[in-house]
A and B are shown apart, each in its own frame.
Chain A
Amino acid sequence: MKALGWLAYLTPFDRKLLVVVTISVVLSFSVLLLQKGGSRVVVSANDKIIFVAPLDQDQRVELEGPLGITVLQIENGAARIISSPCARKVCMSMGRAEHSGDLIACVPNQLVIRVEGDNVEDEEYDFIRR
């Protein structure tokens, strides 16, 4: 038990505290995993909402931007961009948006894809937009 030799330097109270804290850290991770996804996808271009769809319906959407067509895939409760006409494909590498507040932006094609939840109170503004 050499790997746990450091436990000898803890007081019995410290050991109990360590167990409690470890359990709460594990619990906080499970809260994170159990968090339910957002409920709908909102796509806006130039501050105008051009597309809204529920997240639980699998579909593929073609979004028109100044550069061309960006393809948005909604699958298994998450949205991601699978093809884009822009040069760097940053939006494609942003991955999946599934929780309320997640955001995918395609700056060259001027599209902002946002996942929203059921509650309007969730939708807080950030420091810059406030």
Chain B
Amino acid sequence: MTSSGVDPQELEHTRRRVMLALFVAMAVALHTVEVLLPNPIPWFRIGLANILALTALFSYGIQALWIVSIARIMIGSMLLGSMFSPGFLLSLGGGLAANAMMSAGYKLWQPKIGPVGVSILGAIGHVTGQLLIAWLVVIRHPSIWMLLPFFLLFALISGIINGLAADYLLGSLYKHPIFAGLKKQQTPNNNS
């Protein structure tokens, strides 16, 4: 450790706080950039911001996941001016469902499951949550559920992409001394 004479627990807390703030900032940036990307299918997003939520989950646990993704949705929609619009409701519903799925998957299968697995669960939760909100609030018609298979397919693909990105990011982050204090069993398997 570089700084001596500081309570190591306090140091770890501060590091955690700083890293979470950075994760939120990066997630907001990705969230904003993604809105600018051309989007052939309405509502469908890759969910790049979820890479940071996954990274937070695997480095600091379930509470960090919720902090990063809820803060990201709130700040991101404030920046884009879409707060409390139907799109924001969809985003929030999807985010909450995704977080629930990711927390459950992480908690149940924690040492075995990797970032890709959690990411797939999260993406599935996200589209299901979004469709549920869309069905409840926007289009009260059962045929909206006919979209679900297509959404699930895209969620599967984007979940894999995000998971791989998070795995790569975690692999390089763990080489940094800031993460030296983390518990070893949380390290994802990074075939090197």
Q: How far is the CB of B190 from chain A (nearest CB, A)?
A: 7
Chain B interface residue bracket vs A:
20 to 34
Set of chain A residues within 8 Å of B188, measured between Cβ atoms? 11
Flag if B139 contacts A9 (CB, 8 Å).
no
Flag if A14 contacts B114 (CB, 8 Å).
yes
* B135-185 interface with A by 8 A CB criterion: 137-143, 146, 148-149, 152-153, 156, 160, 163-164, 167-168
Flag if A6 contacts B112 (CB, 8 Å).
no
Asked if A3 is at the interface of the complex by the 8 Å CB criterion, the answer is no
Partner of B156, one of A12, A21, A126, A130: A21
Which residues of A are in contact with B by a Cβ distance under 8 Å?
6, 8-14, 17-18, 21-22, 24-25, 28-29, 31-32, 35, 99-102, 122, 124-127, 130
Which residue of chain A has the shortest Cβ distance to B148 in the bound complex?
Answer: A28
- Interface majority SS on B: helix, strand, loop or mixed? helix
Set of chain B residues within 8 Å of A22, measured between Cβ atoms? 156
Asked if B54 is at the interface of the complex by the 8 Å CB criterion, the answer is no
Q: Given contacts A9-B167, A18-B120, is CB(A101)–CB(B114) below 8 Å?
A: no
Q: How far is the CB of B171 from chain A (nearest CB, A)?
A: 9
Bound complex: CA A124 to CA B139 (Å):
10
